[in-house]
């Protein structure tokens, strides 16, 4: 079984009192090496401060994931619409009646499994 990894654990933690002491320049010096820092209050994560470049990088990844998701959804819609279009064909009713009139397994005898 995979263990759950807390992504905040790997980041530098900066107590809120240090943020107040250091001021903005001091905070940004803490952010600079990794592009992000976790601000804690009583040892509990409260916020993550990101460098602008890190934010842009993350948003680019999000945009890629959204685009891939939209492409997959569009492909699924296309396949569904193609199948649905078969019901609009002039002979759709005749084909459906022919399928329904044909026994599902020909002359085969069906037996329920042990679960039924």
DSSP the chain: -PPP--TTTTS-EEEHHHHHHHHHHHHHHHHTTTTEEEEEETTEEEEEEE-HHHHHHHHHHHHHHHHHHHHHHHHHHHHHHHHHHGGGSTTHHHHHHHHHHS-TTTTPPP---TT-
In this predicted structure, what is the pLDDT of residue 87?
82
Is the confidence at residue 116, as pLDDT, over 60?
Answer: no
Per-residue pLDDT at 96: 83
Share of the chain above pLDDT 90, in %: 50
**pLDDT of the residue at 51:** 94
Tokens found for residue 9: 């654990």
> Is 83 a residue whose pLDDT tops 60?
yes
Q: What is the mean pLDDT of the chain?
A: 87
What mean pLDDT comes out for the span 67-77? 90
Residue 93: the pLDDT is 87
């Amino acid at each position: 079984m995979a263990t759950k990894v807390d992504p905040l654990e790997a980041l530098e933690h900066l107590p809120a009192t240090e943020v107040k002491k250091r001021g903005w320049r001091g905070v940004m010096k803490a952010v600079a090496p990794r592009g992000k820092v976790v601000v804690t209050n009583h040892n509990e994560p409260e916020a993550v401060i990101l460098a602008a470049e890190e934010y842009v990088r993350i948003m680019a990844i999000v945009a890629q994931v959204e685009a891939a998701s939209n492409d997959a959804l569009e492909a699924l819609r296309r396949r569904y619409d193609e199948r649905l279009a078969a019901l609009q064909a002039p002979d759709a009713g005749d084909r459906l009646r022919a399928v329904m009139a044909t026994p599902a397994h020909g002359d085969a005898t069906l037996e329920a499994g042990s679960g039924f």
